[in-house]
Amino acid sequence: MRRRLLGRLSGAVASLWVLAGAAEAPAGAGGAAEPCLRLPYVYTKWKHFTTENGLPNDHVFAVRSHENDLWVGTENGLALIDKRRGEVVKVWREKDGLPFQAVTGIDVDPQTGAVWLGLFGGGLARFSGGRFDHWHQLNSGLVNDVVYDVVVANDSVWCATTAGASRFDTKTGEWAIFTEKNAPMEEIWNYAVDYDPQANKIFLAVWGSGVLEYDLATGRWQEYIDPDGEMEIDLYRDDGINHVIVTGVTAIDGVMWVSSYFGGTRYDGRSWRGFPDIEGGLPSLFNNNVRGRTAYEAWYCSDKGAGAIVDLDPETWVQYTRDGKTGYAVVKQRLRPEDKTLATVEVIETGLNVPHTFVVNADIEGDDVFIGTSHGLGWGIGEGYYPRLKERPRMGRARAERAAPGGVSAPAPK
Amino acid sequence: MRLRMFLAVALLLGAGCAVVEPGEGAAEAPCNEWIPFDHPKLVELLRLIDVGDHFETPPLEIRKDDNYAGTPADVEPFSGTRPFNEFFLKQMEYTGPGRAEPEPESLESVKIGFIGPIMSTVSVATGGKSHEEALGIPMLQGARLALEQWNERGGYLKRKIPFELVVSNDNGLWGASGNEIIKQNYRDKVWAILGTIDGANSHIAIRVALKCEVVMMNTGDTDPTFIETNIPWVMRNIGDDRQQSYLLIDYAYRKLGYEKIGIIRASNRYGRFGVREIRDSARRLQKPVPVEMAYMVGQEDFELELSRLRDAGVDAIVHWGNAVEGALILNQMRAMGMRQPYLACDRCAHPDFVAIAGANAEGVVCGYPWNPESRNPNLARFRAAYRERFGQEPETYAAHAYDGMNMLIWAIQAAGLNRAKIRDVLAYLPEPWPGVTGDIQLSACLDDVGDVYLARFENGDWNYYSRADLDIPKGYIPPRDRVSRVAEETAQK
């Protein structure tokens, strides 16, 4: 099984060489001390939640951490995890008042503590004071009941729906709808929404219309679409969003992180940076979402594990994946700027990290990360977390390889 | 597995269609209405996808196509540039946990969803009023016929329970299809879904299908972008507008030598995306389309649009829209003295078009996704059964829905009641599906890349021609993906 996973990662490795000083033995396994390299923090301590320890359903669609509360939206119910106790303390299904079984978006209003829920076919719900309030197409200005994502921005709640975006003013009760009529949406299939409080802007990830940025102060739109305009190719690297079908967006520290089923993209306001799977950093082209942590770190939710890009200088990724009963963190780095692919510089057997390789959603709070997958939730506990890179010895099996252009570098099996 | 095979053999023999087990000899002619359940490749696939737990991803081969959609080099986008990345060539994977889900124990029927435009309504998205019921109702009938025939053969063979069609109207309002698929998934708990036609609704539906992890078999949406989404749960069994456009382009430019073609199209997603390959290909062939006019669905006077086309001095006109508007445009065009050849999409090769256009229909050429005059015995059987069941002749949407439903049910029979395995069986067809619409060959991105045709109205009837029939030249189709092609061409030099 392990061999199969690693073999899959290996792809078409045409040539490889071991870097000078990069022994195959685990660090500290005798011999001369290994030199310290600039390496990222790697999550090695994880908690897991499935139906076996309280989740209402294993298919996790949404996760949101807010102080001590960890809210988990699944395909059949909502769960609350008490982070101090480290356990599921409450579950709601439809019979408990949850307006619809599938919860695809969650956000918490920092002012009121109200929990807002995007319901996959059930509209929008607010959980407050132990009660669910429910808005849908027939009783409100919600443009569609298929809500993929929800975010609280000041006094408003924004919903990304399959037929446009809706904004609900929680003070006045007024609704606004954004579709092709009043926004630059060539298509109206909204997939995700994010709010950048620093910039006071809303970011919509729209399937077929790229990313739309809405300035709350001016009411102006800015669109970001694939510059080549073609579905079947990405013409140039780093020229913009790599595909018009966008699945997720996070704006943080002046940087926009974008996910799609065709890779990932970063934009800092001046330059674009594309992340295709063929370079070996991003685990897969197929990315369900992205959660940015800083201008340098973002977690991509792919169908082949979580891919955390943790620095750009040099470009460094940590891929979290599992195989059978255990998990691996694979550190990838672009060793020289001219290298076309990233090399594997560290492979750490972490024990189980992400519960399943099909990652759907992620959230980050403080030093911890929370990974929703199609079979359970993983909580990465960031003891001693540090951002970007720092010099440290390798923690586990260490090996560096380089793939031929177009191939994917990866660790070789034992 | 062996038990399932046995049941299949027994029941299908009873229905007059033999399945030949390996090593038993071909005592009876093998059935050619579907792929045999004992096909060695299918048997091996079923073994591979029989995973032990939710965390195992079977080691399935990832197919890689040489060329996307059989696109000739001279009509490829940015053909002079080597792209950084090319999509839709590698087979999409499903890496989720679904294969380990067991069959539910108590079921009274095996539900399959149908979603299509079957009831008239108001539609903003499709141009002001719904207009696709004429396509959706035959689609429903074709799907229903296939399902009824499988029920006559014993239903779901493994459990001897019937198949049940769960029908939803795709009423054209954007987003409605999403709600319907949610309902089919969570309330009705369907095992697979067939539909839709309208491109906008299709896109909404497939995003839901992806999240719910249920197969969506499309048999009627010819929007090229439908499949250009990288969703491993979505497949299509009808030749799309890209394929039909390539043939029309080759016919108009490479064979007939037209220099200047004008476009008139419906102002909806079908028209907008349908003509995209025509317009882009013309430009790439150095013969750009001078005028493209859009009209509202339901419009009856096209003088403004046609006068612009006339003033542009075009050699021929391409229409992309429904049959009624297509015929009205043609009539008005002729009344205005415009004698240009009239080329159109497959929706115009329809009795409504002929009824309205009358003598003007003579010589009209349409792209067509299949050959309804084929001597395929499956088609003859289907025609007879459809006539007997519904008292009318089957058309494009009925025939493709019949094939699509047969593919879904065949996959359910082979894979069992597991959505992921149903997907796998369809994504890894051991050979082209022997459909009534011809052999259905799916590309790596699960799109039908089989032959398409031209329909020409001659002497009061539609005649169907393949590329070979009309000796239509074809552009060079490189046998290699674009990213690695340059190196190969350099080496050849």
Output the six-digit token pair for A355: 């519960």
Q: Cβ of A33 under 8 Å from any chain B Cβ?
A: no
Angle between helices B276-284 and B241-249 (to 10 degrees): 40
CATH of the domain at A73: 2.130.10.10
Of the candidates B69, B224, B230, which has its C-beta nearest A262's C-beta? Answer: B230
Show Cβ contacts of residue A109 under 8 Å, excluding neighbours closer than 6 positions: A115, A116, A152, A157, A170
Give contacts of B 187-216 with A, CB under 8 A. 200, 203-204, 207-208, 211, 213
Greater confidence (A233 vs A22) lies with A233
| Shortest CA distance from A284: residue in chain B | B93
This model of the complex carries an ipTM of 0.91
In this complex, the residue of A104, A232, A375 whose CB is nearest that of residue B54 is A375
- Nearest residue to A186 (alpha-carbon basis) of A236, A231, A235, A249: A231
Q: Predicted confidence band at B129 (pLDDT cuts at 50, 70, 90)? A: low
CB nearest B85 (choices: A102, A276, A286): A276
In a domain, A369, yes or no: yes
User: What is the structure's pLDDT at B130?
Assistant: 66
Domains B2-61+92-238+375-440 and B242-368+459-465 share a fold: yes
Q: What average pLDDT does the segment B284-305 reach?
A: 96
CA distance A259 to A271: 17
A22: in domain: no
Is the pLDDT score of A54 beyond 60? Answer: yes
Q: Which CATH architecture has domain B2-61+92-238+375-440?
A: 3-Layer(aba) Sandwich (3.40)
Give pLDDT, residue B149. Answer: 98
Tokens of B99: 């294969």
B32 — pLDDT class (breaks 50, 70, 90): confident
For A64, how many CA atoms within 13 A lie in the half-sphere containing its CB? 24
Q: Domain total for chain A?
A: 1
Helix (H, G, I), strand (E, B), or coil: what is residue A323?
A: strand
On chain B, the residues whose CB falls within 8 A of the CB of A1 are 56
Q: What distance in Å separates residue A283's CA from the closest CA in chain B? A: 13
- The answer as to whether A337 is a domain residue is no
Please state, in angstroms and rounded to a whole number, the distance separating the CA atoms of residues B466 and A108. 60
Instruction: Give the β-pairing of A123-128 and A131-135.
Output: antiparallel
Q: In this structure, what token pair is assigned to residue B426?
A: 């369809």
Q: For residue A103, what are its two tokens?
A: 């919860």
b/e map B139-166, b = 16+ CB within 10 Å:
bbbbbbbbbbbbbebbbbbbbebbbbbb
CB contact under 8 A, A233 and B85: yes
Instruction: For residue A371, list its beta bridge partners.
Output: A362, A378
Dig out the tokens for B493 from the structure: 């030099």
pLDDT band at B52 (very low <50, low <70, confident <90, very high): confident
Residues of A in contact with B93 (CB under 8 A): 286, 303
pLDDT of residue B182 exceeding 80: yes
Quickly state the pLDDT bin for B390 (edges 50, 70, 90): very high
Q: Give the pLDDT confidence score for residue A32 in this predicted structure.
A: 56
Q: What does the domain layout of chain B look like in residue ranges?
A: 2-61+92-238+375-440, 242-368+459-465
Which tens digits make up the pLDDT trace of B430-468?
A: 999 999 999 999 999 999 998 999 999 999 999 999 999
> Using one digit for the tens of pLDDT, what is the confidence trace for B238-268?
999 999 999 999 999 999 999 999 999 999 8
**Cβ-Cβ contacts under 8 Å, A303 against chain B:** 93-96
Over the stretch A136-158, which tens digit does the pLDDT of each residue have? 999 999 999 999 999 999 999 99
Mean pLDDT across chain A: 89
Model confidence at A31: pLDDT above 70: no
Q: Is B476 on the interface with A (CB under 8 A)?
A: no
Q: Which residue of B has its CA nearest to A302?
A: B95
Q: How far A23 CA sits from the closest chain B CA (Å)?
A: 31
**Beta strand pairing status for A343-349 and A359-365?**
unpaired
Q: Which of A318, A317, A312, A293 minimizes the C-alpha distance to A370?
A: A293
The verdict on residue A235 lying in a domain is: yes
Q: What is the mean pLDDT of the segment spanning A273-295?
A: 97
- Whether A163 and chain B come into contact, CB under 8 Å, resolves to yes
- Give yes or no for residue A398 having a pLDDT over 60: no
Side-chain half-sphere CA neighbours of B378 within 13 A: 20
What number is the average pLDDT over the span B27-46?
82
| Cβ contact A234–B95 (<8 Å) | no
Per residue in B102-115, pLDDT tens?
Answer: 999 989 999 999 99
Range of the domain at A311: 47-321+353-383
CB pairs under 8 A between A and B: 146
Mean pLDDT of chain B: 90
Peptide bond into A314 cis (omega under 30): yes
Asked, for residue A238, whether it belongs to a domain, the answer is yes
Which of B85, B214, B480 is the mutation pick for testing A, counting most A CBs within 10 A? B85
In this prediction, residue B490 carries a pLDDT of: 61
Phi, psi dihedral angles at B94 (to 5 degrees): -115, 115
Q: Which amino acid is at B182?
A: I
According to CATH, what is the number of the domain B242-368+459-465? 3.40.50.2300
Q: Given an 8 Å threshold on Cβ–Cβ distance, is B85 in contact with A286?
A: no
Task: Kindly state whether B56 is in contact with chain A, defined as any CB-CB distance less than 8 angstroms.
Answer: yes
- Find the mean pLDDT for residues A307-324: 95
Q: Is B95 on the interface with A (CB under 8 A)?
A: yes
Q: Which residue has the tokens 């380990």?
A: B100
Mean pLDDT of the B326-353 span:
97
Crossing angle for the helix pair B396-415 and B377-390, nearest 10 degrees? 110
Closest Cα in chain A to B68: A232
Closest by Cβ to B204, choosing from A120, A189, A374:
A189
Give me the pLDDT at residue A24, please.
Answer: 36
In a domain, A272, yes or no: yes
The confidence score (pLDDT) of residue A298 equals: 98
- For residues B461 and B351, give the distance between their C-alpha atoms in angstroms, rounded to a whole number: 10
Question: If you count them, how many residues does chain B have?
Answer: 493
Select the residue of A143, A161, A231 nearest B228 (Cβ to Cβ): A231
HSE-up (13 A, CA, CB side) for residue B356: 17
- Write the single-letter amino acid at A329: A
